[in-house]
Amino acid sequence: MTTESVTGALKKARSGVGVGGSGRSPSSRERKRQFTHSRTFTLFVLPSLILLVLLNVYPVVYAGMQSLRNGDLLSAGNFVGLSNYISVVQTPAFLHATLFTIIFTVVGVFGSWSIGLALSLLLRTRIPANGLFKVLLLLPWVVPVVVSATSWNWLVATPQSPLPIIADALGFGNPLFLADPLNAQIVVCIFKVWISFPFMMMMMSSALASVDVNVYEASKVDGASSWQTFGRITLPMISRSTYISWILMTIFCVNDFPSIFLLTGGGPVNSTQTLVVLAYSTVFQNFQTGPGVAIAFIMTIVLVIISVLLYRQIRKVNIE
């Protein structure tokens, strides 16, 4: 075996030659065989790739084209460029929907995260029927949202519903939970937190399980209080999972159509209308596909920006 530098050996390895090899490059027959293999591989993958493109890429491209036209559900319409985007962002309905989407998302993300984290910390303690509680607490997330929304409608919609009766009995009068715009917004946000906290609870449970218990023991030895342990050990150590869950829940909240549409339809008087509900009603109720799809694309761009910003935060946490 000849003595050679590391650089030389690496160079040979990159050109496909082992240590002690002859140094001759692979023959053309070898290259041709590899090319045939690549082509075969590509041809086998192609049908799946075509299907993927047809089902995912084509609708997005077609929707993009629709957003540049003034058609409806029956006809493509004429090309109008970016005027749909410009006109949509100037409408009061869009501005209101944006504001409520932000409120709904902030409440949904942080409300569900807080409750999910609190419950996951509680479930780590020794309480009776711990396993049963874990299952029951998952139910709001597991039950289809159609069922949940119908149940909540039954709970609050009419003066004869259970919650208004309880509120009246407690001296709060007869509140209109869904017919009053402010109350409807509150109900919708609470509903979102209620169906989302189990997801956060699961995310935080798995994050907490990955924290080394020795760290807690060390902190006890150092005399750290519970709050200090929580604030300076637990939270930082689960921060990566926290940011990921925030990204996911932000996307879930912004894109959440059924929760709002089934509970209030975006009403009363558009008070609970988020951007996704506005996009739906613009396309399927008002038959304005261009502006409706433009709203959807604007939402997508904003979501991508938020996701990128939060993802950078995750990378910062990794590096630290």
Stretch that binds another protein, among 172-180, 192-200, 202-210, 240-248 (CB under 8 A): 172-180
126 binds another protein (CB under 8 A): no
For the CA atoms of 229, 234, 235, 238, the dihedral, rounded to the nearest 10 degrees, stands at: 170
78 binds another protein (CB under 8 A): no
Query: In the bound complex, what is the minimum distance in angstroms from residue 303's beta carbon to another protein?
Result: 23
Question: Under rule CB under 8 A, how many of the chain's residues touch another protein?
Answer: 48
- Sketch the per residue contact string, 252 through 271, with another protein: x for CB under 8 A, - otherwise: ---------xxxxxxxxxx-
Beta bridge partners of 69: 79
DSSP, collapsed to helix, strand or coil, labels residue 269 as coil
Query: What b/e sequence results for 185-215 when a residue is b if at least 16 CB atoms lie within 10 Å of its CB, and e otherwise?
Result: bebbbebbbbbbbbbbbbbbbebbeeeeeee
Instruction: For another protein, give the closer residue by CB, 140 or 265.
Output: 265
Compute the Cα dihedral for 11, 13, 16, 20 and give only its sign: positive
Query: In the bound complex, what is the minimum distance in angstroms from residue 44's beta carbon to another protein?
Result: 7
288 binds another protein (CB under 8 A): yes
134-153 binders of another protein (CB under 8 A): 153
Residue from 63, 179, 211, 248 touching another protein (CB under 8 A): that is: 179
Which residue in 260, 113, 128, 122 sits closest to 193, CA to CA? 113
Query: In the bound complex, what is the minimum distance in angstroms from residue 30's beta carbon to another protein?
Result: 6
195 binds another protein (CB under 8 A): no
Q: How many CB atoms lie within 10 A of CB 296?
A: 22
Place of tokens 């150092």: 222
DSSP, collapsed to helix, strand or coil, labels residue 69 as strand
186 binds another protein (CB under 8 A): no
Residue from 112, 205, 250, 282 touching another protein (CB under 8 A): that is: 282
16 binds another protein (CB under 8 A): yes
Query: In the bound complex, what is the minimum distance in angstroms from residue 285's beta carbon to another protein?
Result: 5
38 binds another protein (CB under 8 A): yes
User: Who contacts 102 (Cβ-Cβ below 8 Å, separation ≥6)?
Assistant: none
160 binds another protein (CB under 8 A): yes
Cα(256)–Cα(58) distance, integer angstroms: 23
Write out the residues near another protein by the rule CB under 8 A.
13, 16-18, 21-22, 24, 26, 30, 33-34, 37-38, 40-41, 43-44, 72-75, 153, 157-160, 174, 176, 178-179, 184, 261-270, 281-282, 284-288
